[in-house]
Structure 1
Amino acid sequence: MDSPMQSKKTNRQEWIFQLILHLTVFHFVLIDHEEGQMVYELQWFQLVFFANYVCANLLISYVLLPRFLYKKRHWEFGLYCMMTVVAVILVEEFVLEKIFYPTTRGSDFQGAILSLGEVLSVLGALTGVKFAWDSIHRQREIDELRLVVKDSELSFLNSQINPHFLFNNLNNLYSYAVEQSPKTPEIILGLSGVLRYMLYECREPFVPLLKEVEQLRNFIQLYELQIEERGAVDFTTKNVSDNYQIAPLILNVFVENAFKHSQSGQSDEIRISVSLSVDATGKLHFSCVNNYEPHEASEGESKGIGLENVKKRLALLYPERHSLSIEKSGQEYRVALQIQLQTP
């Protein structure tokens, strides 16, 4: 919504615009044609005739439009507009012309068609521009509302990242603590580093690509501690620099799922491959491949929110600038993501 100051400024701009519009239309009303020449005839009583149109326009623009047309009460709007036009014609023909042209135009009725054409042309110009002004203003409000909704949705999605990450890792940490594994302190230290990045360096909507890749490497090392000697993890990067920015933590979910799926169904020969590169056009190519043993999910196993979260974030942050492919082939799970990055 507009603030009171913005609303006051908008109203002032509208009335200035309306004043210019009415002066412009009045200028064309004054033009007359005599023997092929345009002649300006300005008489003081012409202001009275034009004031009749102005009153009708104000009634249509500031009463009938918002009260009926914008509320989709079209039949009532049409009926009241017709009554307004008829009233303008009656005032002009039987009042104003009787006063200012008693022996010429006011001596007899010139015809409804002729009067209707003149009235509709003037009111159509005045009211049509008001309708266009309102449409532009409403579209701007809709765009602002969409931006607010987008920011709110992104904030909600971002707020889910840390709890989701903590939930998975605290479960793993608990199992290591129960087993009194000597790697428990190292896991806690790695978890602390990743959380520090999430809390203090991910407040902006975009972060330098190099910093995000470094965080992803730490993230992988943290999970790599959990599989111990049960498999191999490969992480490669190419052409990564600070020349580009990326949404923070947009890649972590795919890596997290790779470890989770691989560990849930097999105890050894875990293979996870993560690669990341940037081409000359600034397009990020991300790939995450892991093997897994299909198994039936337990009744209480959580479906998870991570993958749906990242899909929504990609749609909001990179509309029509990303492609995501997730495939299961045999005992392999493949994720391929391409993002057109932006520069700082």
Structure 2
Amino acid sequence: MDSIATQHKSVKKEWIFQLIIHLLVFHFVIMDHEKGQLKYELYWYQLWFFTNYVWANLLISYVFLPKLFYRKKYLQFGLSTLLVLAAVLFIEEFLIDPFIFPDTRLADLKGVLLSSGKILSVLVALAGTKIAWDAIQRQRELDELKIMVKESELSFLNSQINPHFLFNNLNNLYSYAVEQSPKTPEIILGLSGVLRYMLYECRESTVSLTKEIDHLLNFIQLYELQIEGRGSVEFVTKNIDDEYKIAPLILNVFVENAFKHSQSGQSDQIKIAISVTVNERGELTFICQNNYLPMSSEQHGIGLENVKKRLNLLYPEQYELKINQTADEFFVSLKIKLSKT
């Protein structure tokens, strides 16, 4: 129903636009110059002549353009338009003129050429505005389609975040449960808090920066429980202001990647350093460093590819991502221009 209503509204706007254009063109048709002075000569029979132009324009604009020109049948369009021009000229010279001015003789070659020029200029003006209108509509539809594709792709990418996170943490939780570790209830509670944020706080395209950092802290603490006593985790923030907004769960992937691959290849001496700062221009700088053993460097999962696609969609030309990998360290630097509330 909404689509039909939108279509009817668009058609109504087009006909109003066409009415205004026709009135403007008619205004120029009745204008005349005499001894350098602009004057208007409005006679009833001028409506006859202009009506002759209108039917031709409607045929060209609403039949020939969509069925021939837009389908790249240029030869058929050209021939059909020429036939219409000839018909308009015939009606004007052999039907309207003799009826209105019965005492005048038929136009000579010069008169026919002058009439042809006038007819052509009017039809070009009318049909040209129709082409311009269609071009604007097509561009608008293309922009709307791009937005729909972007939203669909973002929805798909966001849907990958929770399963990816759950897959990694449920495996860890299962291991602690089997071992009957006293940390198991704390991990469940932390996991519940993180999932609550993902489900209820991340429905908008952007969230408060302070909420996102609080969530990131909980996220880090959840993972930190799993490496307690086997290394160190450092998390530093600076100039975090509630007036800034950020796309949710952008930073999680890098943190998760750091913990996952530091743990997978080594049992101790894990070192993870994370910092988030915002400068006076509203530019966020996120840095995440982690060590690893070479055996764990071959695969960094789907998370990084996911977040790169999200950054391209959410922050086109507004972010800078650098990922460096050495023999024993993985380094991520992300800069984003934040928006304000």
Verify same fold: TM over 0.5.
yes
Q: Show structure 1 runs of 5+ residues with no match.
A: none
Tell me, in whole angstroms, the C-alpha distance in 2 between the residues paired with 1:134 and 1:54: 18
Please give the TM-score of this superposition, normalised by the length of structure 1: 0.93
Tell me, in whole angstroms, the C-alpha distance in 1 between the residues paired with 2:148 and 2:66: 25
- Paired residue for 1:327? 324
Q: Aligned ranges for residues 1-344 of structure 1 at < 5 Å?
A: 3-104=3-104, 106=106, 108-110=108-110, 112-295=112-295, 304-344=301-341
1:63-110 deviations in whole A, cap 9, x for unaligned? 111112222322322221222112212222222223233443525443
Tell me, in whole angstroms, the C-alpha distance in 1 between the residues paired with 2:25 and 2:215: 64
Tell me, in whole angstroms, the C-alpha distance in 2 between the residues paired with 1:332 and 1:76: 67
Q: Which amino acid aligns with 1:228?
A: E
- From the superposition, tell whether residues 292 and 37 of structure 1 become closer, same or farther in structure 2 (CA, over 3 Å): same
Tell me, in whole angstroms, the C-alpha distance in 1 between the residues paired with 2:48 and 2:234: 85
Please give the TM-score of this superposition, normalised by the length of structure 2: 0.93
Tell me, in whole angstroms, the C-alpha distance in 1 between the residues paired with 2:254 and 2:26: 66
Tell me, in whole angstroms, the C-alpha distance in 2 between the residues paired with 1:175 and 1:133: 64
Tell me, in whole angstroms, the C-alpha distance in 1 between the residues paired with 2:26 and 2:86: 21
Greater CA deviation, 83-92 or 329-338? 83-92
Structure 2 SS opposite 1:106: coil
Q: Show structure 2 runs of 5+ residues with no match.
A: none
Structure 1 SS opposite 2:288: strand
Q: Share of identical aligned residues, percent? A: 64
For residue 61 of structure 1, report the CA deviation from its aligned partner.
0.9
The alignment yields a C-alpha RMSD, in angstroms, of 2.0
Tell me, in whole angstroms, the C-alpha distance in 2 between the residues paired with 1:78 and 1:248: 55
Q: Which amino acid aligns with 2:120?
A: L
- From the superposition, tell whether residues 116 and 292 of structure 1 become closer, same or farther in structure 2 (CA, over 3 Å): same
Residues 283 and 336 in structure 2, CA contact (< 8 A), matched pair in contact too = yes
Tell me, in whole angstroms, the C-alpha distance in 2 between the residues paired with 1:90 and 1:142: 41
Residues 98 and 104 in structure 2, CA contact (< 8 A), matched pair in contact too = no
Q: Which amino acid aligns with 1:277?
A: T
Q: Aligned residue pairs: how many?
A: 341
- From the superposition, tell whether residues 297 and 287 of structure 1 become closer, same or farther in structure 2 (CA, over 3 Å): closer
For residue 2 of structure 1, report the CA deviation from its aligned partner.
6.4
- From the superposition, tell whether residues 118 and 7 of structure 1 become closer, same or farther in structure 2 (CA, over 3 Å): same
Tell me, in whole angstroms, the C-alpha distance in 2 between the residues paired with 1:327 and 1:107: 82
